[in-house]
Amino acid sequence: MVEVKLHDIGEGMHEGEVIHFFVKAGDTVKVDQPLVEVQTDKVTAELPSPAAGTIKDIKVKEGDVVTVGSVILTIEAGASQSGNKTKEEPVNVKEQPVVDKIVASPKNTVFTGGIATLKKRVLAAPFTRKIARENGVDIEQIEGSGPGGRVTDHDVYHFIENGSAPKTAEKAEHAATEPITTASSYTSKDAEEIPFKGRRKQIAKKMVQSLATIPHVTHFEEIDVTAVMEIKKQLKTLDPENKRGMNVSVAAFFVKAIQIALKDFPIFNAKLDEEKEVIRLEKNVNIGIATDSDDGLIVPVIHHVEQRNVRDIAVDMKDKINRAKTNKLKGSDMTGGTFTISNVGPLGSIAATPIINHPEVALMAFHKTKKTPVVVGNEIVIRSMMNVSMSFDHRVADGATAVMFTNRVKELIENPYFMTLELI
């Protein structure tokens, strides 16, 4: 008997939520055939079959949160497959006319005819799937309006309100007999409850760990981004159709400026090993990009920034942010970070005290840009000004060093042509 357990599919992962089973008890499976889809705080991953055989027993159900090492299901390896048709077996079209219906109705994604059920894979947060389950809705029937076709809470509620998915008698009876969770004495009985698990719970654990471990200090600065925004505008004008990839984001310049500054102040590209009592200065600069997704905060990493130009950084950043928002990142996309940035400016922030991404020692947040009258020389002129917040681990670095590091970043962003002197 082969036990399929939840293994560590992400850095620092301790648990995951079972999102979807691709098999059921009695199914025959091949080696590497997807068995179950699991979502952690970082990624959604499919667990493949380690052996060929028959699914003997499924130990958990969809929606359960399981810890690393827990048995999800068992496989009777090498069991006889006689009498058990696999999904790969050819279907006799004459005996099973439902196949003709599937071919003739490409818009329909779910069919039941006694032989198989075809379902499309959909993107949806665990809480969204829970709403669908509790209301008897087959989430695979819903067209998602979110990024990458993701099904949102609104999509599910809209589907329910249109009367397109009435509950079956069995589900209605189950819903009627299901115990009601009582609210606490200080909470309204009409309050909506959101599950505190999965990625949100992991984010909470990491935030608590960081604040409990690291003595945070935040330093603020104001940066004139007029010049770098002008360069971005000029590049776009020279390449209006972006055939040469010259339409780069301003944030890519910020990443490059930080990498150059970290070369001068390597103490912020470091990790503190308290057990060995050493501060480890990292050789490579791998910058994490704090990204907001439907499932919560996620930090894809731009690796080896010291070896890359601004255009390469911009392309990689755009790709990873898009995949983060559609839950398509790989584990390797989120590991190895040495410094993190948070570009919250587009959302309208003016200042913050960001929490460091433990075990890193610093994080810089870029806030919104606005045109402001400033004194240049002896004249008042209009410039594009942006606030930045620099949080650092005071065990590892001192305030003066943090100010000098921020000043170096400021110098590079305000004078972007200085960056050309640092290109490899």
Could you give the CA distance from residue 395 to residue 215 in angstroms, rounded to a whole number? Answer: 7
DSSP letter for 203, please: H
Per-residue pLDDT, 126: 63
Q: Closest by alpha carbon to 73, among 51, 58, 53?
A: 58
Measured over the CA atoms of residue 37, residue 38, residue 44 and residue 49, the dihedral's sign is negative
Residues 26-51, mean pLDDT to the nearest whole number: 85
- Over residues 106-122, the pLDDT tens digits come to 333 333 333 334 445 56
Q: Are residues 83 and 164 in the same domain?
A: no
Better-predicted residue by pLDDT, 114 or 37 = 37
Residue 237, helix vs strand vs coil: helix
Q: Say if CB 143 and CB 155 are below 8 A apart.
A: yes
pLDDT of residue 382 exceeding 60, the answer is: yes
pLDDT tier at 378, thresholds 50, 70, 90: very high
Average pLDDT over residues 191-218: 87
Say whether pLDDT at 217 is over 50.
yes
Question: What average pLDDT does the chain have?
Answer: 82
Please tell me whether residues 291 and 352 are part of one structural domain.
yes
pLDDT at 90 > cutoff 50: no
- Residue 331, pLDDT above cutoff 50: yes
**Do 248 and 318 fall within a single domain?**
yes
Of 40, 74, 89, at which residue does a domain stop?
89
Q: Do both 324 and 360 map to the same domain?
A: yes
- 328 and 402 fall within a common domain: yes
> Which residue would you say has higher pLDDT here, 123 or 92?
123
Round to whole Å and give the CA distance between 411 and 417. 10
395 compared with 10, residue with greater pLDDT = 395
Q: Which of 424, 390, 414 is nearest to 253 (CA)?
A: 414
Pair (79, 163) in one structural domain = no
pLDDT single digits (tens) 289-299: 999 988 788 99
At what angle are helices 310-325 and 250-264 packed, to 10 degrees? 110
CA atoms of 214 and 395, how far apart (whole Å)? 8
Establish if 104 belongs to a structural domain.
Answer: no
- What is the Cα–Cα distance from 408 to 396, expressed in whole angstroms? 19
Report pLDDT for 397.
97
Q: At residue 84, does pLDDT exceed 80?
A: no
Question: Is 346 found in the same domain as 212?
Answer: yes
pLDDT at residue 163, as a whole number: 58
pLDDT at position 380, please? Answer: 96
Q: How confident is the model at residue 189 (pLDDT cuts 50, 70, 90)?
A: low
Which pLDDT score, from 0 to 100, does residue 165 have?
43
Q: Does some domain include residue 114?
A: no
Q: Are residues 174 and 302 in the same domain?
A: no
Task: Write down which residue in 66, 89, 112 finishes a domain.
Answer: 89
Residue 7 sits in a domain whose CATH number is 2.40.50.100
Co-location of 296 and 220 in the same domain: yes
The label of the residue with tokens 């940066």 reads 223
Number of domains into which the chain is organized: 3
Does 216 participate in catalysis according to the annotation?
Answer: no
Average pLDDT over residues 310-339: 92
Asked if the structure places residue 118 within a domain, the reply is no
Q: Is the pLDDT of residue 246 over 50?
A: yes
Structural domain contains residue 54: yes
Residue 177 reports pLDDT greater than 60:
no
Task: Flag whether 96 is in a domain.
Answer: no
Tell whether 152 is covered by a domain. Answer: yes
Give the three-class secondary structure for 386: strand
Pairing of strands 287-289, 216-224: unpaired
Q: Omega of the bond prior to 359 within 30 degrees of 0, cis?
A: yes
Distances, alpha carbon 42 to alpha carbons 315, 344, 354, in Å:
21, 20, 19
The stretch 21-42 carries a mean pLDDT of 87
**Which CATH number does the domain housing residue 153 bear?**
4.10.320.10
CA distance 254 to 234: 17
Maximal CA-CA distance, the chain: 89
Residue 308 structural domain:
200-422
- Residue 187 belongs to some domain of the structure: no
For the ranges 32-36, 352-356, 361-365, 377-381, the lowest mean pLDDT is seen at 32-36
Q: Is the pLDDT of residue 276 over 70?
A: yes
Examine the domain organization and report whether 164 and 229 are in the same domain. Answer: no
pLDDT for 134-176, tens place per residue?
A: 788 888 888 888 766 778 877 888 888 775 543 434 434 444 4
Return the SS3 of 197: coil
Query: Which pLDDT score, from 0 to 100, does residue 168 have?
Result: 39
Q: Using CA atoms of 51, 110, 59, 10 in order, give the dihedral in degrees to the nearest 10.
A: 70
Same domain, 162 and 219: no
The CA distances from residue 123 to 42, 155, 195, in Å, are 15, 12, 18
Most confident residue range from 56-70, 153-167, 171-185, 360-374: 360-374
Domain check: are 320 and 209 in the same one? Answer: yes
Asked whether residue 277 is assigned to any structural domain, the reply reads yes
The confidence band for 198, taking pLDDT boundaries of 50, 70 and 90, is confident
Backbone angles phi and psi of 70, in degrees to 5: -75, 145
Domain CATH number, residue 225: 3.30.559.10
Report the pLDDT value the prediction gives residue 191, as an integer from 0 to 100.
Answer: 81
For the segment 269-280, the average pLDDT, to the nearest whole number, is 94
